[in-house]
Structure 1
Amino acid sequence: FLIFNENTKFCLIAQSSEAVTTTACKKNSDLQKFRWVSDYQLMSVAFAQCLGVPNKRNQAKISLYPCNKKSEFQKWECRNESLAIQGEDLFLSAGKKKENVALKTGSEAMDKWKIYGTTDDLCFQSHEDLFTLLGNSNGAPCAFPFLLSGRWQAECTAAGRADGLFWCATTPSFDEDHLYGFCPAANIDRFWSTDPLTGTYYQINHQSALTWHQARKSCQQQNAELLSVTEIHEQIYLRDLIDSKRSSLWIGLNSLNLNSGWQWSGGFPFRYFNWAPGRSPEPESEKLCAVLNPRRDAKWENQPCELKLGYICKKEKSTKDPLILPSGDVKPVKCPEEWLPYGGHCFMVHRDPKEWREAQISCNESNGDLVSIHSPEEHGFILSQLGYRAVDELWIGLNDLKIQMYFEWSDGTPVTYTKWLPGEPTHEATGQEDCVIMAGKDGYWADSGCDRKLGYICRRDPLQGVSGIPKTDPACLKGWERYGFYCYLVGHTSVTFSEAKKTCERSSGYLTSIGDRYEQAYLTSLIGLSSEKYFWIGLSDMEEQGIFKWVTGEGVLYTNWNAAMPGKKAGCVALRTGNAAGLWDVQDCEVKAKFLCKKLAEKVTVPVASETISDSKCPLGWDTSNSTNSCFRGFVREKDQKKTWFEARDFCREIGGDLAAIRNEEEQTVIKNFIKKKSPSFQPFWIGLQCLDPNGGLSWSDGSPVSYKARNNFYDTTFQDCGAINEDPDTSWIKEHCEYSHNWICEIKKGTPLKPEPLGPSTTYEVTEDGWIVKGDKQYFFSPEKTSMKKARTFCKNNHGNLVTIGNNSERKFLWKYILKNGKLNSYLIGLIQNADQQFSWMSGSPVHYAAWAQGEPNFAAAQENCVVLNKKDG
């Protein structure tokens, strides 16, 4: 991108590594092109060198230097649309034309820099790792720029290859380290295997070591997705393709949407189960991602998403027909008495309890079947318009009575969509859960024993030869649809946000607000059958970025953000259709889209449900303010007693609350004040913010709407992490790996009785006379001082042992918690070593099936790095 100065209207140009000045912008000039090569380094594309300064002083001249990740003089950050040296009050300032740009202290410099041709600040196009394939670097990301035959390379190159494949180095110097991998490309079939039966492409990356989210990113960089398995044939093909001696490989299966159950990334239906020992794993908050394990007949297991493993990508042949959904101009159909039409079919709920097979017979008798649900839109219709209640448990047509673990619709339609409840499907082997119910406030699904007597939903074709009459409601004008207390209109022209707002107001309505999941489900079903991508709703943060408000001024009680939303840019909110139907995207307000209007139905008065502040007091030691119904308390613990995000969430839930959600300025202030009192030396506290779901956006763990962000905090939603709050420099929200251990803040509602704190898991171990720690069937010795690998190994051997082999996550956690509490050193040698061919092995001879590399490791940074240590800081 080009770096554009708002004040002078010039762009930054590097004419040589000495001369960095400003000049008239030229979009195609390489001398004006820059890009982020790490989270804080800006590289000139023409010179493959980084912007830096000789010193951190006012008026320091800015020029180009060989990129060096460790140099303090090359670290930049965006601050209020300007560019500053990290952590300093020194800003990039343009000066006059032809003069070198320089640093100025904050008071003088108010230069605003943007990406040329946009309104985005420079950090909007942030650095994204490019993960390599094959090569000899375990899938490590490209290191730009890198040194090749004495010249700096700023891009992937085909140099030295007869086959023309592009590659990059994974360390700054290929000349010294000879470490490389191939660059991902959307269209190269060289790295893929093709299933001759279906034409689907698969790529198996055994030699990589990436986390689940990195693996998914690597697939997406090739226009593919992590593996999803929806057909039995596919599983058999893969089992035969993969060498059965290999370690586990990531697949797209995950339980990262904390409000629902197992799902495939990319929105594929989860209808075929192939779990190792045969049933779905207990939901464990630490193990939310799944692997295919070649050593267990290619069956699936759940693992912590942070593990570094190989992975499988999948690319569909694009010619496959998706299930054709009826488009919006469906002629109204005529349904029998008491049945409701939607999308060309008729639906009805029956509340007389029957076993699943009896329910199916009952639907057959009225020329229908138990309901099949093919999209979020149909799901939204059933949830909002058939009188569904949050306490309901109703049979639907999904079952695996024909082929165990392979779920099908009883009406024979293809399975294109699933939405399971949290922890589901369990498929209890004992209870034979072969049939599926819809339950809970969201109407998500669970498998259940078919002999339970429950209500059920039928679906049938409409009456033939009779055309229906569009349903009208006397309390709504013609063209408006009735739901609850309101009438809604789908606007049929594409207009900007402000034009849409005016159009609704002309009909004495307003751009719609959305108060809860049921109104959301109704609107999803209303727009779901149209071919447009977006529909405006009445929400925006144009007054103040990050503070979302409805045009009516009513409080935001519910949010439903799409992936990577609400993002860093202020804008207006539109509902998505298609695969992500009903999710909210922030769009530029000048974009043209259709829209949704809302107004009260005639002669209807809405019962006023204003939130009154409870008179109840908070428990002793909890803080609150007069304008909130919540009480907050920070829990500060010793090092080994701090908790991961999930442990902290479970702790808060056990005492009757949840991790803190911050919904407005008042709550931010309450929390800010007690952090100032309590926070020992700027340690972060977990809060309930998280963005784990690959198909969804930011949410609070207790379901509160994400519509407020405190000033100087970011909603950086490219993160697949958890949120914490930090006092330094000013109370701000930060993102942290969910696995890290921190203090935490709980919230409970006023008047909720406080339950006793759960006792932590006891770290029971015995100590032998000569100082070894006995845990289970193993004994460990933690050395009190540093020593060489050779001496360490000799000591272990003399004591009839070996340097430690760490076999799984719980063993690693035990060792880590022990050194957190008792360890004197920052790192401890373990028994993992790197062989000459850059493969790793345990000294004890055990195969390497588990590894927990720190970020950026293994990086083979120097030829002599061939031992492995366990870090005290992050385990």
Structure 2
Amino acid sequence: SLEMLGRPLLQPPSYNRCVDLRWTTGNRLLVTTTKKCLGVQGNSVGSEVNQFDCDDKSTLQKWECKNGTLLALKNQEFFIEVKADETTALSRTTGPNNHFTIPGTSSGACTRTYREYFTIEGNAMGKMCMFPFLYKDRWYGECTTFDSSSKRQWCAVETKYEHEQWGYCPTTCEMYSFFNHFSFSYYQINIQSALTWAQAHTSCKQQAASLVSILDPNEQAFISGSGRKKLWIGLVLDPEHGWQWTDSKPFRYLRWDAGNPLPNPGHNCAILDTTGEHTWQSSSCAKKLGYVCYKDGAPPIPPQIEEGFCSNPWIPYNGHCFHLQRTPQTWSGAQRACRAEGGDLVSIRNVEDQSFVISQLGYASNDELWIGLNDRRTEGLFDWSDHSYVSFTSWEFGKPAVSTDGDDCVLIRGENGNWADRSCDEQHGYICMKQSSTESTGDEIIIDAGCKAGWKKHGSYCYFVGTETKTFNEANEDCKSSNSYLADVSNGVDNAFLVSLVGLRPEKYFWIGLSNQKNIDVFEWTNSLSVKFTHWNAQMPGYQQGCVAMTTGILAGLWDLLACTNSEKYICKSLAEGAVPTVPPPTQTPPKCAEAYKAVVLCLKFFTGPRSDEKTWFEARDFCRAIGGDLLSMHSATELRLFRGGKAWIGLHIPESSTGYAWSDGSPVNFQHWQEGEPNNFNDAESCAEFVIHNWDEQGSWNDLNCDSYNDWLCQIRAEYNKTSDGWLEWRGNHYLIHGMSQPMDDARHFCQQRHGDLVSITSKEENIFLWKQISRSYGRYYIGLSVDLDGSTWWMDGTPVSLQRWDEDQPNTNAYDQNCVYMSYHMGFWSTSNCGRELSFICKRRSSSPTNTTAAPTVPPTGGCPAGWKKFGSKVRPSNLQFRKVFKMTKLQKNIHVIYLHLTFSAFLITKMVGVVSTDLWIGLNAIKNEAFFWTDGSKRQYTNWGNSCFSFLLSTDPNIKAPPETIDHNYVDLGNDSIKVVTQNLTWDNAQKLCKLDTANLASLRNDWTRAYVELLAIKLNTPLWIGLNKNQTGGYFKYIDGWHLNNAAWAAFQPKRDKPCVYIDVDGKWLTAFCNMTMNSVCMQSKDVAPTESTTFPGVCPDDTDVEYQQSYTWMPYRGHCYLFIQDEIEWPNAASSCGALASIEDPSEQDFIKSTVGNFQDSHSSFWIGLFKTHKGTTTHTHYIYIYRPTDDKDHRSRVHTSVVVVLVITITSILIVVAFFFYKKSPRPFPTFENPLYFNGEQSQPDVVDTNKLIENAENPEPVLTM
């Protein structure tokens, strides 16, 4: 019930009491007596609050509490207010009549939350119960057994039960689970559910169980027999210890699938895949799958405290003696040495043993010491060498490694004493353990020197465990009375010592000296030292005031926040006799932060942008770490005021379900600033924190949220992290440049070398991850500086030794002899081989000491001539006549020879030289062996293709000792098959150039075949000047047709060509065709030809089919026109589907065809405004849903000459369309804009008057915006 100052929240006329309310599904308030929901009729001031039939979709029934006692419409600033007449309505302001409390308390509605229950079995796929729900004309506000034959409680998952979806409610009863007689445990296998990992975890907890932990092959086999399904298990990625079971069971058994676990950001959960090899896979936790719950059949046996004696140099602890040896031994040698002393390699049975080992044996953070764990007997199953039960593990991140290439033995290392698996043949120090003696040996080691009797020494300090229970303040005063203080904890080793001191004791808590009594936001030690370390228990510290106590038992060492008035035992601490306290180092002035970063202790930056760039908490953390920092950690109120606007992830999170909040950078949680009612861990699914910067409240600004939600984020980076003055990224002493422009490898490397670097060499996994994170949002592939030889050997181009390889699956591809370069993929950062001519983005690297203000020397083109039998072009030469794979392999073994590569200019040269031997087929170096596209065998940039017969030739560099003959241009007619070509080097208008050709009984050239086209291209290149050719649409009926009567059957238009208002055509110095005004002056090309142009036919044989080969939504009839058949389809489909459905989309080749189509589609103008045709742009695509034209060509059409240009274009459309379907569809999905209408520049324009004299040096035009092409 809720009341306002003693008056009811809602008071119907016949009632004089508070109305019973409770939170229910979907942030609603349920009136328990009437099964109705609290709501309003409108979101405006004065709208009356009343009871309504519950509607889970209505935003007018969704509420939230603010500041503890205010109730407001969710995500709106409308508050419930009690009026003078005791009715309730919405108000914009808040006052005394807006605050509601639970009767008999001072608590508001925020202190009572609703837990949503996930269903079991049924047909709801695990969805949450919907309360209330209507079933057979009756409302249910809780689970019911009505109509259940088994009398098992159930619920519906929708309000009105329209789709009859239901499931059983969770229960702690084991009768609905499977019992495993081998492990004496219960299992519930929910193969019919579809929940995220967090939801599955919550569902198990609602049944007093946990997601299953799999500890050995027998348990794996038991669960795998449940059916072919992918199921969540309780394995999660912990930021310190790597993969861990959520129920704290030991991670001793590995069953990873090949390639798993994946290093992808957010892949922090694990799946048991029973569909194949019954292996585990890492996965994003947001997937919806079935899951397995697990419950122990018997309670765990509490550990016993055992006393014992050990002779020097062995150290006693809990019934055993321990000895640390640093003499290097193999694992087997270490075991023999321990057994010779009557013991074995150490078995670490629990967190107390672990804490003792790293805090009381003289262990150092740089030690690497063998312990008894190994998988020598069964690969992937770790056991202790003394055959004791494995009940505890403490792996370091990334361990144990997934390996099948040998036995693994385990060592302890690092500051926190985490474990790593290594080859058993390595030599390291070791730790021995043996049973302690029940009687004193007389030569025990003295370990508490400098401490009073009953005190225990650790480092320079002595510790005492209080013998009586006291409140926090009483305990603090008692410690002061003995010249000590309640213990502070400065690091993990200190905490471990306290665990070894009290972890096995029967008391649940021991006070330490931390509290937030003075300020709920700030934690302080009683000795006034700064807080450097925290180790909170689950759901701690929360947002409450209290004092801190250390836990014992299974969760020993974790910290709970308790009421300071609780009576607990306690731990005092004082400096040992003769010890000197450590003096902290002097404070250094921090360097300046980079631009866009704000300085506090570190440099901070707010990353915000479009919603598509938002990240999950894990992605945001990995992003910050990849650029050298971490998510923001906050330790004072000063840092709260640095940003305004928006909300963002910060580094606060719950690393695992058994622990409390921690900062991702490892700093202590000594400050908090939660919003009212937060953190509430709604539905046990909110484990990460966001900083709510907008609408910032002095009282609280943090909110807990599901870690898989998307959000902006705040990074912190050390001050010395920066970019260089020329834009390179600094990381660990090197500079990196991520270059997004695609280039072949040679060009990319030249770019890097010009900037005193090289393509990147990668020497560590961390460096690979750093670079991967820089490109992970770019959706591309990036050249790195690794080369692959024919024998599969690799080397870095900058000479760095190869110490790391991160190949993708099935890589490197050593069977492809032309894939000698390597790229990194944006998806996972793995490497793949590539032909070096493929144009990709790239990454440069240079040493931080490299100069940044000088320029690399330019490349000097080689000079010289050719040996006998070779022809010279540029700096290359080629021989005559030779077969492809054998030729290619042979040439790869010779340093200076490659199978020839054809760039535009060389192709022109080669073709002109081949005119005399056109009947001979020749190999060239272009191939698609082991590639999805064609690339040159020498890795050259693929600048030009000219498809026809397959060819090859040899290519080698010119010999500087052979004198090259001078190049000449022939100004007479040169025979090319049936054509003869002459270049005119006089600058003329198009009309005058044509007149000059006519004097030779010639025309401006029609480039109808490869020979002619290549030769004219070569002329333009050698003369370095544009050339008129025989196209002028003003003289050919308004569309482009050669002046000698031949149809235009192919073209090489430059970008954004042809132009509508420019009727004449010239070939530019790069071989591309451009349009110009006809009165411009330039050189030209005349052509005489023995071929006769075809005449236009007036008869068109052939019959159109009666039916279509494709079924459409309605029937259509083919329509004939000039030898072709047309189908006007009015079904609305997409351009790619239209293009691939049948035949080809219509190509419009002349004005008469344009008029025919235009007049036909005009019949549909009232119902359809536009129809697809076959015109597309290769550099840009936009598309929309509209209507289509299809074209069918009869098989018995014999007059090919009359429409040769049409058939060529149609074939071109058919072949290219299939390639462009994916591209066009991608652009369609990316762009909401419809196709613009186009005007066709091939037709209907007049020549405009322009100056007679034009500077032809300026004819090479820059790219312009696209102009209209066609309008119907």
TM-score, length basis structure 2? 0.55
Distance 2:694 2:447 in 1: 58
Q: Is the Cα contact below 8 Å between 1:281 and 1:426 reproduced in 2? A: no
What is the alpha-carbon distance in structure 1 between the residues aligned to residue 1228 and residue 636 of structure 2? 36
Residue 652 in structure 1 maps to residue 621 in structure 2: no
1:228 aligns with 2:210: no
What's the CA shift for 1:470? Answer: 11
Query: What is the 5 A alignment of 1:355-754?
Result: 355-430=330-405, 432-466=406-440, 473=448, 475-609=450-584, 612-625=587-600, 628=601, 630-637=602-609, 640-670=612-642, 672=643, 676=644, 682=646, 684-710=647-673, 712=675, 714-717=678-681, 718-730=684-696, 732-752=701-721, 754=730
Q: CA deviation at 1:688?
A: 2.0
Aligned partner of residue 262 in structure 1, secondary structure: strand
Q: Which amino acid aligns with 1:160?
A: D
- The 5 Å alignment of 1:111-130 reads 113-115=100-102, 121-130=108-117
Which stretch has the larger CA shift, 527-536 or 472-481?
472-481
Distance 1:792 1:288 in 2: 44
Structure 1 residues 74, 467: CA separation in 2 closer, same or farther (over 3 Å shift)? farther
Report if aligned partners of 2:674, 2:703 keep a CA contact under 8 Å in 1. no
**Equivalent residue, structure 1, for 2:56:** 69
Matched with 1:828 is none
Q: 1:693 to 1:472 in 2, by over 3 A?
A: closer
Aligned residue in 1 for 2:921: none
Aligned to 1:315: 295
Equivalent positions of 1:282-361 (< 5 A) are 282-318=262-298, 322=301, 324-327=302-305, 330-331=306-307, 333-361=308-336
Alpha-carbon distance, 1:252 to partner: 0.8
Any conservation in 2 of the 1:21–1:99 contact (CA below 8 Å)? no
Counterpart AA for 2:278 = A
5+ unaligned residues in a row in structure 1: which ranges? 24-30, 766-775, 779-787, 802-813, 826-875
Paired with 2:581 and 2:624, the residues of 1 have a C-alpha distance of 35
Give runs of aligned pairs for residues 242-257 of structure 1, distance below 5 A.
242-243=226-227, 246-255=228-237, 257=238
Letter in 1 for 2:425: D
Identify which of 824, 827, 830 aligns with 2:1232: 824
Greater Rg by CA: 2
Residue segments in structure 2 that go unaligned for 5+ positions in a row: 723-729, 739-770, 782-930, 934-1112, 1114-1129, 1142-1221, 1234-1272
2:199–2:685 CA contact under 8 A, matched in 1: no
Which AA in structure 2 matches 1:254?
V
Structure 2 counterpart of 1:729, one-letter code: N
- State how far apart, in whole Å, the 2-side matches of 1:91 and 1:21 are: 23
CA distance in 2 between partners of 1:792 and 1:393 (Å) = 70
2:256 maps to 1:275: yes
- CA distance in structure 2 between the aligned counterparts of 1:272 and 1:313, rounded to whole angstroms: 18
Q: Judging changes above 3 Å, is the alpha-carbon distance between structure 1 residues 74 and 109 closer, same or farther for their aligned structure 2 residues?
A: farther
Does the 8 A contact of 2:80 with 2:90 survive in 1? yes
Aligned-partner residue type, residue 165 of structure 2: L
Percent identity reads 35
Change (3 A) 1:275 1:119: farther
Residue by residue, what CA displacement relative to the aligned partner does 1:512-531 show, whole Å, maximum 9, x if unpaired? 22111111111111111111
Shift of 1:119: 6.3
Structure 1 position 415, deviation (Å): 0.5
The one-character-per-residue Cα deviations of 1:550-573 (angstroms, maximum 9, x if unpaired) are: 223322111111222222333222
- Give the count of matched residue pairs: 753
The answer (yes or no) to whether the contact 2:631–2:714 under 8 Å persists in 1 is yes
Check the 8 A contact 1:534/1:577 in 2, yes or no: yes
Q: Does 1:183 align with 2:169?
A: yes
Contact persistence 1:229–1:272 (CA under 8 A): yes
1:167 paired residue number: 154
Query: Shift in Å at residue 88 of structure 1?
Result: 5.0
Aligned AA (1:159): F
Secondary structure class of the residue paired with 1:494: coil
Identify the residue that residue 138 of structure 2 maps to in structure 1: 151
SS at match of 1:218: helix
> 2: distance between equivalents of 1:21 and 1:692?
49
Give CA deviations for 1:532-554 in whole Å, capped at 9, x if unaligned: 22222222223332322222332
User: What per-residue deviation string (whole Å, max 9, x for no partner) do you get for residues 601-641 of structure 1?
Assistant: 3343312216725342223332214xx3x111233455555
8 Å CA contact 1:227, 1:251 repeated in 2: yes
**What CA deviation, in whole Å up to 9, does each residue of 1:226-247 have, x standing for no partner?**
11111322222222x322xx33
Question: Per-residue deviation at 1:579?
Answer: 1.5
SS at match of 1:710: coil
Q: Which residue identity is paired with 1:744?
A: W
Inter-CA distance 178–413: structure 2 relative to 1 (3 Å threshold): same
| Post-superposition CA distance 1:757-794 (Å, at most 9, x none) | 853234249xxxxxxxxxx999xxxxxxxxx9x98889
Whether the 8 Å CA contact 1:252–1:265 is kept in 2: the answer is yes
- Asked if 2 retains the 8 angstrom alpha-carbon contact of 1:142 and 1:168, the reply is yes
Change in 2 beyond 3 A, CA 1:645/1:80: closer
- Write the deviation string for residues 358-379 of structure 1: whole angstroms up to 9, x where unpaired: 0011111111111111111111
Tell whether the 8 Å contact from 2:510 to 2:570 is kept in structure 1 after alignment. yes
**CA drift at 1:472:** 7.0
**SS at the partner of 1:52?**
strand
Inter-CA distance 564–387: structure 2 relative to 1 (3 Å threshold)? same
SS at match of 2:467: strand
- Answer yes or no: is 1:46 the counterpart of 2:33: yes
Partner of 2:779: 763
The answer to whether the 8 A contact 1:690-1:698 is kept is yes
Q: Does the 8 Å contact 1:21/1:100 carry over to 2?
A: no
What residue identity is the alignment partner of 1:35? Answer: R
Identify if the C-alpha distance between structure 1 residues 820 and 668 changes in structure 2 by more than 3 Å, giving closer, same or farther: farther
CA distance in 2, matches of 1:347, 1:199: 34
Shift of 1:510: 2.2
Contact 1:13/1:20 (8 A) holds in 2: no
Three-state SS of the structure 2 residue aligned to 1:535 is: strand
Distance 1:11 1:222 in 2: 39
- Considering Cα pairs closer than 8 Å and 6+ residues apart, tell me whether 1 or 2 has the greater RCO: 1
Structure 1 residue 424 displacement after superposition = 1.2
What residue number does 1:807 align with?
none
Choose which of 263, 266, 281 in structure 1 pairs with 2:244.
Answer: 263
CA drift of 1:56 comes to 5.3
Q: Give the stretch that moved more between structures: 205-214 or 707-716.
A: 707-716
Contact persistence 2:686–2:705 (CA under 8 A)? no
Shift of the alpha carbon at 1:475?
A: 3.0
Q: Name the amino acid aligned to 2:434.
A: R
Matched, 1:209 2:194: yes
The 3-state SS of whatever aligns with 2:493 is helix
Aligned counterparts of 1:21 and 1:668: Cα–Cα separation in 2: 47
- Supply the distance in 2 between the matched residues of 1:824 and 1:722 (Cα, whole angstroms): 35
Provide closer, same or farther for how the CA distance between residues 235 and 188 of structure 1 changes in structure 2, counting only shifts above 3 A: closer
Partner of 2:936: none
User: Separation in 2 of the partners of 1:613 and 1:118?
Assistant: 51
Distance 2:368 2:546 in 1: 40
Deviates more, 1:504-513 or 1:728-737: 728-737
How far residue 822 of structure 1 moved from its aligned partner, in angstroms, is 3.1
